[in-house]
């Protein structure tokens, strides 16, 4: 009988599930199911749809798994920051506001004014944006007081699936550190920040228990097991944030740099010590393993090239071919198509500079990829400015890793080879690594090292970084500091 572990990625777009053999760690089955589409600035999903998608994806994988398999452990990773509001009976009060919902920006501004930016940075490691959970809590208090009065427990998206699996209110330090009310350096909740929203709420009882990355959140309940079609009692890990779990899946060690190209764009590395960026550009969040995962996250990444592919009437492969056929000149794109998270410009829009009547389709395609890459390069340079060493190997993950244009432009701008690990789904793989550590009773960092995947260089630098275009990009960024009127 095969003994399996399960890694889950509950993202903004979908739920993906990997079944892996515990002994060999080979994938034996996969499943996926979509989530309802969302479009900022108001971005909400009903958490019940996440559970339905998880059950569908799980059963799809189970049907393809070896007969008579036993599930030893499950771990769930997922989209960060979103607020799942539960009442005293553990029922969802309203749809979850997601990380890319920017309607909570006014509440975040008020919190920053009262608590102070320096205090936020020093105590949480990050200067929160509208993405952070604390802004969603404040929004609920201000706009839906009846719902806020019922609020008894606050979970994050991956916590909700863990809760549905186990009945336990549990999170991990990587996800807790992205709420805006958790000090990952001291591993403690900052209830005084929440009291700014409401001084009377019993906040200490409303936050989930924080479990170590290789700790056990609980076991699969009989009710959940029936829905999944398995025996109850499988161990459930603490889970983690999506990027944090991808670091686990890659076996990330300092000073390697990861560039994640999904709906959002993220650059991060590992640090043994806490990172504090006085400018607030870098989020000094915790990693799933001991230590920290300093990162910069942009709101606009692969969806920018999705939009340009639609505008130019080509598919993704066609857009990549157009971009690689262009000479390194032409328009420069500031890719804040749906506002921006880093830098914090929730009301900004995209800006195309230096557009002339002789611009080509190839140049427009290249501008789309370059605009996303420039936004990520901004993050890499801020990491260096904070004294974080990210000079090691460069790994690209996410859907954008399949694009030759993305990987080539990254190699050129970073002046380093770009690698892609043999990991089609880094987040789901990371959750499976976590489940394997839980099933074996091993330390997570040791399991990561033992299961580190093979990586291949997919792009070498061809062109030297064009500082003139980079400076032009920065000029455009300064223009977008003025948000759209009325937004």
Hey, which residues are catalytic here?
Answer: 242
Sign of CA dihedral 394, 399, 400, 405: positive
Residue located via tokens 């455009």: 476
What whole-number distance in Å separates Cα of residue 238 and Cα of residue 22?
18
Plot region of 398 (φ>0 → left; ψ -120 to 50 → alpha; else → beta): left
What whole-number distance in Å separates Cα of residue 123 and Cα of residue 107?
19
Q: Are 256 and 266 in contact (CB under 8 A)?
A: no
What whole-number distance in Å separates Cα of residue 127 and Cα of residue 406?
29
Q: Are 378 and 296 in contact (CB under 8 A)?
A: yes
Neighbours of 174 (CB within 10 A): 30
Q: Are 415 and 461 in contact (CB under 8 A)?
A: yes
H or E element in which residue 296 lies: strand 295-298
* 3-state DSSP percent of the chain in helix, strand and coil, to 5: 40, 20, 40
At 349, list the tokens. 């829009």
Q: Are 275 and 293 in contact (CB under 8 A)?
A: no
Distances (CA, A) of 46 to 82, 83, 167: 11, 11, 18
Burial of 250 (0-12, 13-18, 19+ CB in 10 A): buried
At 228, list the tokens. 């999944």
- H helix and E strand count, the chain: 17, 23
């Amino acid at each position: 009988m095969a003994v399996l572990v399960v890694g889950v990625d509950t993202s903004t777009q979908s739920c993906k599930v990997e079944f892996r053999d515990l002994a060999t760690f080979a994938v034996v089955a996969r499943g996926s199911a979509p989530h309802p589409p969302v479009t900022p600035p108001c971005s909400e999903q009903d958490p019940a749809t996440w559970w339905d998608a998880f059950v569908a994806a799980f059963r799809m994988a189970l049907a393809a798994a070896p007969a008579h398999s036993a599930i030893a452990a499950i771990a769930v990773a997922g989209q960060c920051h979103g607020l799942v509001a539960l009442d005293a009976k553990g029922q969802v009060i309203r749809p979850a506001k997601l990380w890319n919902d920017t309607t909570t920006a006014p509440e975040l501004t008020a919190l920053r004014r009262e608590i102070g930016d320096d205090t936020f940075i020093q105590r949480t490691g990050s200067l929160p944006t509208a993405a952070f959970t604390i802004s969603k809590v404040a929004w609920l208090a201000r706009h839906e007081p009846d719902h806020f009065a019922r609020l008894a427990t606050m979970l994050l998206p991956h916590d909700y699936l863990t809760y549905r699996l186990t009945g336990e209110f549990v999170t991990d330090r990587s996800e807790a550190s992205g709420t805006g009310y958790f000090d990952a350096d001291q591993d403690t909740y900052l209830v005084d920040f929440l009291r700014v929203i409401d001084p009377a709420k019993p906040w200490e009882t409303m936050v989930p228990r924080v479990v170590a990355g290789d700790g056990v959140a609980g076991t699969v309940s009989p009710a959940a097991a029936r829905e999944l079609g398995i025996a109850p009692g499988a161990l459930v890990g603490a889970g983690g944030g999506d990027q944090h779990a991808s670091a686990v899946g890659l076996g990330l060690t300092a000073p390697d740099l990861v560039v994640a190209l999904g709906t959002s764009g993220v650059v991060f590395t590992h640090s043994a010590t806490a990172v504090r960026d006085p400018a607030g550009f870098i989020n000094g969040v915790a990693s799933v393993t001991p230590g920290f995962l300093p990162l910069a996250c942009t709101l606009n990444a692969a969806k920018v090239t999705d939009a340009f592919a639609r505008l130019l009437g080509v598919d993704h492969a066609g857009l990549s071919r157009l971009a690689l056929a262009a000479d390194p000149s032409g328009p420069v794109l500031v890719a804040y198509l749906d506002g921006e998270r880093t830098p914090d410009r929730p009301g900004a829009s995209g800006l195309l500079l230096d557009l002339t009547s002789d611009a080509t389709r190839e140049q427009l395609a290249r501008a789309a990829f370059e605009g996303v890459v420039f936004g990520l390069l901004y993050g890499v340079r801020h990491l260096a400015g904070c004294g974080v060493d990210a000079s090691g190997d460069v790994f690209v993950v996410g859907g954008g890793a399949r694009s030759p244009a993305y990987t080539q432009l990254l190699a050129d701008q970073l002046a380093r080879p770009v690698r892609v690990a043999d990991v089609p789904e880094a987040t789901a793989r990371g959750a499976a690594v976590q489940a394997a550590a839980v099933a074996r009773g091993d330390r997570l960092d040791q399991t990561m090292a033992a299961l580190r995947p093979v990586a291949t260089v997919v792009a070498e630098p061809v062109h030297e970084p064009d500082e003139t275009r980079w400076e032009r990009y920065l000029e455009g960024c300064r223009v977008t500091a003025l948000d759209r009127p009325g937004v």
